[in-house]
Amino acid sequence: MKLSVVIPTLNEEECIGQVMDELSAALDGKVEYEVVVVDGMSRDRTREIARAKGAVVVEEPRRGYGRAYKTGFASARGEIIATMDGDCTYPTESIIPLMEMLDEEDLEFITTDRFGHMEEGAMSTMHKIGNLALSFTTRLLFGRIIRDSQSGMWVFRRQALSKIRVEDDGMPFSEEIKIEAFRKLRSKEVMIRYRRRVGEVKLSSWKDGWKNFRFLWRKRFRGPRDKSLRS
Ligand SMILES: Nc1nc2c(ncn2[C@@H]2O[C@H](COP(=O)(O)OP(=O)(O)O)[C@@H](O)[C@H]2O)c(=O)[nH]1
Ligand SMILES: [Mg+2]
């Protein structure tokens, strides 16, 4: 198996079907792949729709975006893993070009930057400010040139996971994987198109923003072994 697309979902019935269709349009006949949907016990038809469209659905009752990815990565069989949300925001047509870039530039990890080509209304002004503040803090504390520390689309070699340590169960998983990747792997950030979300946002702006911010300071000054960051 060449590619696993891993998607965490929590009540995404409005869009998961479209994401599956867009994946088929972008990948069918071009690469051998599977889609792993890690569902946090949605109370709507997410699992049913994903399964009907051919995804492998993994049920993960434990809450959290990071928790879902840890479970999803453990069941992914592809040589390369691509991630995205189940909300129609990320460009499925970028997966193959990013996989080619991994090979051509001999990279292990690619993260994406949504700020270059963002559809009108795809991110509220408050979220933009929050994201930029978190990305700035990431740069300040870790010295990495990441423009978008919260982007949820990554394309990377599954093997590279054994070289990094990503522990957070919540939204900070997104910045944690980038910090680890830019420290330990051949990594790059690439601009992508980002669309307006379909369905309700799952993150809580203030709570998750604050958790992300706190996470960055803890990771910087106490190291990754901090007990409070463990599952
Ligand atoms: N399995 C699982 N998925 C989650 C959880 N929280 C969020 N998600 C999914 O993770 C993705 C990112 O969440 P989203 O609300 O789009 O965050 P945003 O893109 O940062 O605004 C979406 O596909 C959500 O359905 C969770 O606790 N468990
Ligand atoms: Mg999203």
Tell me the ligand closest to 15's alpha carbon: 1
Which residue's CA is the closest to the ligand 1 atom numbered 26?
Answer: 64
Instruction: Note if the pTM is more than 0.75.
Output: yes
Q: Given ligand 1 and candidates 60, 171, 202, which is best to mutate, with the most ligand atoms within 8 Å of its CB?
A: 202
User: Would you state the structure tokens that stand for residue 159, as one six-digit string?
Assistant: 């093997």
Q: Residue 114, exposed/middle/buried by CB under 10 A (0-12, 13-18, 19+)?
A: buried
Residues with CB under 6 A from ligand 1: 8-10, 12, 38-40, 60, 63-65, 68, 85-87, 152, 201-203
| Phi, psi torsion values for 57, nearest 5 degrees | -100, 125
The overall average pLDDT reported for the chain is: 93
**Pairing mode, strands 56-59 and 33-39:** parallel
Q: Given ligand 1 and candidates 13, 65, 124, which is best to mutate, with the most ligand atoms within 8 Å of its CB?
A: 65
In one-letter notation, the amino acid at residue 92 is T
In 3D, which of 213, 229, 203, 208 has the Cα closest to residue 138? 213
CA of residue 79 relative to chain centroid, distance: 17
User: Would you state the structure tokens that stand for residue 117, as one six-digit string?
Assistant: 């080509």
| Residues 6 or more apart whose Cβ sits within 8 Å of residue 71 | 38, 58, 60, 62
For the CA of 12, the nearest atom of ligand 1 = 25
List, for residues 193-227, the tens digit of each pLDDT value.
Answer: 999 998 888 877 788 899 999 999 999 988 655 54
User: Would you state the structure tokens that stand for residue 25, as one six-digit string?
Assistant: 């349009």
User: Would you state the structure tokens that stand for residue 50, as one six-digit string?
Assistant: 């994903």
Task: Kindly tell me if the per-residue pLDDT of 31 is higher than 70.
Answer: yes
Q: Cα of 106 to ligand 1 centre, how many Å?
A: 30
List, for residues 108-135, the tens digit of each pLDDT value.
Answer: 999 999 988 889 889 888 888 998 899 8
Domains present along the chain, CATH in parentheses: 3-222 (3.90.550.10)
User: Would you state the structure tokens that stand for residue 139, as one six-digit string?
Assistant: 């740069």
In one-letter notation, the amino acid at residue 206 is W
Which residues, in sequence order, are bridge partners of residue 154? 111
Tell me the ligand closest to 203's alpha carbon: 1
Q: Cα of 146 to ligand 1 centre, how many Å?
A: 21
If one compares 200 and 92, the residue with the highest pLDDT of the two is: 92
Which residue's CA is the closest to the ligand 1 atom numbered 27?
Answer: 64
| Residues 6 or more apart whose Cβ sits within 8 Å of residue 204 | none
List, for residues 143-163, the tens digit of each pLDDT value.
Answer: 877 889 999 999 999 999 999
Angle among Cα 124, 67, 54 to the nearest 5 degrees reads: 85
